[in-house]
Amino acid sequence: MRHRDELVSLVRLDDVTKSVTLADDSTLEILRGISLEVSSGDHVSIVGRSGSGKSTLLNILGMLDAPTTGTVAFEGAEVGRMRSGRLDRLRGNNVGFVFQQFNLLPGRTALDNVMMPLGHAKGRLFWNRRQIAADMLERVGLGHRVEQIADRLSGGEQQRVAIARALVRRPVLILADEPTGALDIDTGASVMGLLDEVATETDAALVTITHDLHVAARARRHYRLDAGRLETADLSRAFEASTLAASVPSSLSAATTGAEEASS
């Protein structure tokens, strides 16, 4: 087990830029000169407006996308040099994703969905995948919904299935992209509570991308992404200006809410 006071670097971005060529041959810079280090057990939030490059950054953190320049290292190994098969396995072993639109496999049961990542594992994880997945669903409070078709569950339940799926292989890095974006405030709060809890339990690093300050406030380190540049954010002022303090869970009592201003 890794301890919080001796943080080990999990993902390290050095001077990463990402640009794409548009149809008219012009270049669009999405990310500029981003350096970020995420260590195990870390809770990081990144806020930013739509189109500020949050998802691209998360893709690069999750090794789904490669930067145009700069380097990405996972546990010290440079990702850019790995062959795609090895990268896929590395991602499968170490990274769990939670998406805004849940992205559950349609038509499959909750259990099938949670089993899916284990189907790409080896050994005990593969052979016991049904039991492990069932235990994980139990852990997120869906033990009674195991055989339900995933897309017929409520939004909150679907996101809990997605969380169970993201965590079932005990990843060291959890990447959540607007995890509460499709949920109402209360459901979102309880889902975030669960995500925080399970991440802390397994000592996994949690990187959350959001434009919801309530969600952002749960992290220990806060960043703001603006026009492709990453800056440390001080959210306290935003919270002070908020009028929704009451709906923020007690753990955030230090920070008053300010969702309105930040998310606009």
Partner 1 sequence: MTGILGALADAWAEIRVHRLRVLLSLIGIAVSVAALTAVFAFSEYQRQYQTEQSDRSGGRAATLVVSEMNIDGSPVDVDAFDERVTAASERFAFSHTARVVQGLAVPVALSDGIVDVYARLYDPVYPQIHREQLLDGRWFTDSDVEALAPPAIITEALWDRIGRVPLAQHPTLALAGPAGGTYQVVGVTPRQTYMDESLGVDLLFDAYRSRVDALPEGAQVQFEVWVPQGMVEEIAPVLAMDLRAGLPEGQTITVNRSDWAAQPGNLNAMATFEMVVGGIAAVILALGALSLINIQLVAMRQRVREIGVRRAFGATSGRVFVSVLLESLVATTVAGMIGIAIVIAILRSDWVVTSMFSGIQDVPPFPMRAAVIGLIASVAVGAVAGFIPALVALRVKVIDAIRF
**Residues binding partner 1 (CB under 8 A):** 54-55, 58-59, 62, 64-65, 84-85, 88-89, 91-93, 95-97, 99-100, 103, 105-108, 112, 116-117, 119-123, 126-127, 165, 169, 177-178, 209
Contact 155, 187 (CB under 8 A): yes
Q: How many CB atoms lie within 10 A of CB 234?
A: 10
Q: How far is the CB of 184 from partner 1 (least distance, A)?
A: 20
Our CB check for partner 1 shows the closer of 121 and 217 to be 121
Both structure tokens of 220: 């220990």
Our CB check for partner 1 shows the closer of 174 and 255 to be 174
Our CB check for partner 1 shows the closer of 210 and 257 to be 210
Q: How far is the CB of 15 from partner 1 (least distance, A)?
A: 21
Our CB check for partner 1 shows the closer of 209 and 230 to be 209
Q: How far is the CB of 125 from partner 1 (least distance, A)?
A: 9
Q: How far is the CB of 105 from partner 1 (least distance, A)?
A: 6
Q: How far is the CB of 3 from partner 1 (least distance, A)?
A: 27
**Residue in the block written with tokens 């990310």:** 31
Our CB check for partner 1 shows the closer of 29 and 261 to be 29
